């Protein structure tokens, strides 16, 4: 391999090793292959991972993680957040890394500090986090075209930032610099929005189904799509509904029926309603007196029917 990789000059074609062929790893490996690199090996154990490797990484040898890393110029570590640190330490202790390699991980919660055991052995460390959810199917490659990717490199190494951004562009995505220090907050924001949105949508659908309204998804799809679009376009000015209007009677009614029909949902409704009232007040949509009334109802309404 060209030893100039670590100094920021990337060769035209890299031998890529993917650990492992999960939903994200297989798709990103395929994207790198589409950019002209060669995925030479991948780690895959489960039936689903082996299937994804066969479909998305044809020709790649299926090997243990240590052998994948030893053979690669660019190592793609696409493993869960809590697994990454231990994996890097183990691979470093086994002597799998070598000077000049590019080592990339895809975890949103970590920057490049977690790669320190590899960095000490002369690799160029990068964190590339695609801001999308993966299915592990070929259509994900098309979705990458409209996907931002959080890029983190060592703060004092501009060449490393450039290598990371170049790899993202090659995969057809949009690089966004995320400094090491803010990486945890960056990931918390994304998880709070994406993960909790799914929970909120499913709670909404469950409540409608308990009311006998089916299919719930068809009913709520236009409403929730419009709400998301408005929130992204107009910010807090998009807030609407009984809390933002100060309709305390309606809020009290909601709490009563939720306590009877879905008590597990009531604390979530209370918390989100209180946060909505605070945002509506700060945006000038809800007056101070109305905000106090809403807060009182949320605080004092009976917890049970």
> How many domains, the chain?
2
User: Are residue 228 and residue 86 in the same domain, yes or no?
Assistant: no
Q: What phi and psi values does residue 105 have, to the nearest 5 degrees?
A: -120, 160
Q: What local confidence, expressed as pLDDT, does residue 67 receive?
A: 98
Last residue of a domain, one of 178, 196, 211: 178
* Dihedral in degrees, nearest 10, Cα atoms 101, 147, 130, 29: -50
The pLDDT tens digits for 77-91 are: 999 999 999 999 999
Do 19 and 119 lie in one domain? The reply is: yes
**pLDDT tens-digit profile of 199-212?**
999 999 999 999 99
174 shares its domain with 231: no
Q: Which of 122, 155, 178 is the last residue of a domain?
A: 178
Q: CA distances (Å), 242 to each of 229, 238, 252, 268, in order?
A: 20, 13, 10, 16
Instruction: Verify that 220 and 174 share a domain, yes or no.
Output: no
Q: Is 305 contained in some domain? A: no
| Pair 165, 275 in one domain | no
Q: Which of 5-9, 117-121, 128-132, 214-218 has the lowest mean pLDDT?
A: 5-9
Q: Are 168 and 208 part of one and the same domain?
A: no
Q: Which of 178, 206, 232 is the last residue of a domain?
A: 178
The pLDDT value given to residue 1: 42
For residue 235, count CB atoms less than 10 angstroms from its CB and return exposed for 0-12, middle for 13-18, buried for 19 or more: exposed
pLDDT for residue 303: 55
Q: What is the pLDDT of residue 145?
A: 87
Taking only the tens place, the pLDDT of each residue in 128-170 is 999 998 999 999 999 998 899 999 999 889 999 999 999 999 9
Kindly state the average pLDDT of the residues 25-41.
97
What pLDDT digit, counting tens, does each position of 275-300 carry? 999 999 999 999 999 999 999 999 98
Domain that holds residue 198: 186-300
């Amino acid at each position: 391999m060209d030893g100039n990789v670590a100094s920021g000059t990337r060769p035209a074609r890299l031998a890529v090793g993917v650990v492992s062929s999960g939903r994200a790893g297989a798709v990103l490996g395929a994207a790198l292959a589409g950019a002209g690199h060669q995925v030479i090996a991948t780690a895959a154990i489960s039936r689903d991972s082996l299937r994804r490797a066969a479909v998305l990484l044809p020709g790649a040898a299926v090997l243990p993680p240590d052998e994948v890393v030893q053979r690669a110029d660019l190592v793609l570590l696409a493993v869960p957040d809590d697994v990454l640190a231990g994996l890097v330490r183990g691979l470093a202790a086994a002597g799998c890394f070598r000077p000049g390699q590019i080592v990339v991980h895809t975890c949103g919660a970590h920057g490049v500090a977690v790669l320190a055991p590899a960095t000490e052995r002369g690799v160029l460390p990068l964190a590339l986090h695609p801001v999308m959810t993966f299915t592990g199917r070929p259509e994900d490659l098309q979705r990458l075209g409209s996907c931002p990717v959080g890029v983190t490199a060592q703060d004092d190494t501009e060449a490393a930032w450039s290598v990371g951004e170049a790899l993202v562009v090659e995969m057809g995505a949009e690089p966004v610099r995320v400094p090491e220090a803010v990486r945890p907050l960056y990931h918390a924001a994304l998880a709070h929005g994406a993960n909790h949105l799914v929970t909120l949508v499913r709670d909404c659908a469950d409540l409608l189904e308990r009311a006998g309204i089916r299919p719930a998804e068809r009913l709520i799809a236009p409403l929730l799509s419009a709400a998301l679009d408005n929130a992204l376009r107009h910010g807090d000015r998009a807030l609407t509904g009984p809390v933002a209007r100060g309709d305390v009677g309606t809020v009290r009614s909601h709490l009563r029926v939720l306590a009877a029909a879905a008590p597990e949902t009531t604390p979530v409704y209370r918390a989100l309603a209180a946060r909505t009232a605070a945002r509506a007040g700060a945006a000038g949509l809800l007056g101070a007196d109305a905000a106090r009334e809403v807060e009182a109802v949320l605080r004092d309404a009976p917890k049970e029917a």
